[in-house]
Structure 1
Amino acid sequence: MALLDGLLRLVLLLATLWGALALGHRLSLLRPGRWLMAGLWLLAGSVWLWLAWQGARLGPLAGMAVQTTALLAWWRRLRPAKDLAWAEDVAHLATGDVEGQRLILHRVRHFDWQTPTEARGGWERRVYDLHRLQSVDLFVSSWGRPGIAHVLVSFGFSGEGPADDDFVAFSVEVRRERHERFSEIAGFFKQYELAIIAADERDVLRLRSNVRGERVTLYHVTLSPDARRELLLALVGAANDLEREPRFYHTITANCTTLVFAMMRQIIEGLPLDHRLLLSGLLPGYIHDRGGLVPGYSLSELRRLGDITRRARQAHDAHDFSLRIRRGVPGWSEESEQ
């Protein structure tokens, strides 16, 4: 009976905390109204917990069940938005079309960031030859929190000469409104929509390494030509789907790591689930263990040699920024075949 009582109290506590956070973050009221409703929920939950500590079982369970049923009915009616006043950096999704061997991306971002919140530049249509798709790279941008990072996937296309190589990076991001700031806690509670952005590397990488001061590490991914193409088209297809039917971002289940992993699982059968998929900063270790990074190097060596932060800052305005940051990176050394 003691175990049953303990389980009841735990359920009541979790339902009380979750409901208060959901109301506080997502209720369509001004902040005072949201937190008033959250406070009332906490008060009701505290009453059920107090009764449970006094030995009651049926009453607290029934009371919490009634209010949770009402809350979930409201929660399920929440729908992601398509047309809002989006922040400029997530104003457009990476929609595209394939015509024969040409991939046409309609809105590739090419911002020149002045500060973490201000940039010049815009969005443009770009065309890529799928026959020239040569590489896939994983960028991991971290800012000091253990295991926490942002992951980007970049695709390289060969040109007539090495200096003509072209790259486009895809970033799965929170689609914020102009007045919103990102909160990892709010990301659990349908606060933001999901976005897939296509961007020039000089935009999306320099923002992190040169402007925000984050540490950016590059890992060359050893996918087959067919798998590279499938992953690229899967990202474009997912962005097209989001344009038609928006989805909510979720800090754990729909983020920069889990979305790409779901695509890779369709391409490579048998990829196992792993706790490192929940912590983006640990993703390179998972890929390394699956044989997806350049062979012959330990993970620590790949991390050290792939740290592009200093080179990105030195190559800030260089026209061949993408090639400069890759010098010395395993899989991208001058003598290696790309």
Structure 2
Amino acid sequence: MLYSDRLRPIRILLKVLFSIFLVGFAIWGSLAMWYQLPFGKATTLSIIVGWLALSIYTIIGMIRKGCWKRLGLYGLLALALLGWWSTIRPSLDRLWAPELAHTVTGTIDGNLVTLHNVRDFKWTTASQATPQWKDETYDLDTITSVDVFLSYWTGPAIAHTLLSFGFADGRHVVFSGEIRREHHEVYSPVSGFFRQYELALIAAEEEDVIFLRTNMRKEDVYRYRVKLPPQAAKELFLAYVNMANQLAHKPEFYNTLTTNCTTIIFHMARLLDKTFPFDYRILLSGYLPGYLYDHGWLENGATLDEVRKKAFINARAQAGGREGFSRRIRE
């Protein structure tokens, strides 16, 4: 057998693998252009059709000899596409949806932290509310509880994750990593991969951000009590404040997979313990309770199924209005 014949299977395999890469890149490029090109739909669609036609032309050329011209042309356009993509930057100055008009910042004075722009909306429907933003001061030495809330709206694997700190005076404040939508935008998990939204960190009353999910949107919401010693709870609170201050000056894009409500909690926990293990349940946030349970971070004494049943708060939440909401969901 000739040496070239022995290499033929390897060449074929490399061509197949490279063709698969080109297919994936063509799809990614098409979606990136669809979500980010500043043209009308008709013009954008025409550009995408041309891009896909060139991609198919290049892939067909991979099957034949002498395809370097096609590949070279495609490579130049791919570099231009990546160069354009790198120019897309997050912003702090857009016309935001009303509930995301402000993000939280904090002023630290020893054990006292003043949060600016704490949201306290009074929701009348799932999309309408009386807006209210306020400043609140908290004594971190009086933190009495840390609760993880998970709100499910589409299947068991995906949930929005919120972290609530309770204080000795009965107040609670919730930190939530949110998609910062513009006023005309509607959330799409696909567009969340393509720099469509900025990341917003908000602080809100439970009567706002949890009530909205249980009583207005009718999502399935669970509350899990986290076992944290006082010093760790204090450091976690400060980590959120520091992150909020950073985002207020240097915006970041939200990413459906890598920069979302649950990964924020994971990165905050890593600040407390660098050995905090990564797990697929960090990405599939709906399974986060099992992750916390397996590592002994939930206050329990029962099986995971029993803990889940006790954590479900919708019936208690919907038994009344805003008055006494935090107390009611903990009964």
Larger radius of gyration: 2
Alignment of 1:20-35 (within 5 A): 20-35=30-45
The 1:57–1:301 alpha-carbon spacing in structure 2 relative to 1, beyond 3 Å, is: farther
Counterpart code for 1:245: K
Q: Does the 8 Å CA contact 1:25/1:191 hold for their aligned counterparts?
A: yes
1:314 aligned counterpart, secondary structure: coil
Residue 155 (structure 1) aligned with residue 165 (structure 2): yes
Aligned to 2:246: 241
Alpha-carbon deviation of 1:266? 1.3
1:133 aligned to which of 139, 143, 147: 143
**Distance in 1 of aligned mates of 2:307 and 2:197:** 34
1:141 aligned counterpart, secondary structure: strand
Higher mean alpha-carbon deviation, 23-32 vs 131-140, is at 23-32
Point out where structure 1 has 5 or more consecutive residues left out of the alignment. 160-164, 328-338
Higher mean alpha-carbon deviation, 35-44 vs 252-261, is at 35-44
Alpha-carbon deviation of 1:269? 2.5
Q: How many residues align?
A: 321
The 1:278–1:24 alpha-carbon spacing in structure 2 relative to 1, beyond 3 Å, is: same
**Distance in 2 of aligned mates of 1:69 and 1:285:** 43
1:306 aligned to which of 292, 311, 326: 311
The 1:56–1:150 alpha-carbon spacing in structure 2 relative to 1, beyond 3 Å, is: farther
Aligned to 1:260: 265
Aligned to 1:277: 282
| CA shift digits 1:219-241 (9 cap, x unpaired) | 00001111111111111111110
Say what the alpha-carbon RMSD is for the aligned residues. Answer: 1.4
Counterpart code for 1:235: Y
TM-score, normalized by length of structure 1?
0.91
Residue 122 (structure 1) aligned with residue 132 (structure 2): yes
**Distance in 2 of aligned mates of 1:282 and 1:225:** 26
**Distance in 2 of aligned mates of 1:298 and 1:274:** 20
Aligned to 1:18: 28
Residue 324 (structure 1) aligned with residue 319 (structure 2): no
1:272 aligned counterpart, secondary structure: coil
Alpha-carbon deviation of 1:242? 0.7
TM-score, normalized by length of structure 2?
0.93
| CA shift digits 1:241-283 (9 cap, x unpaired) | 0110111111111100111101111101211211111111111
Higher mean alpha-carbon deviation, 249-258 vs 98-107, is at 98-107
Aligned to 1:209: 214
Aligned to 2:83: 73
Higher mean alpha-carbon deviation, 11-20 vs 291-300, is at 291-300
Alpha-carbon deviation of 1:57? 5.5
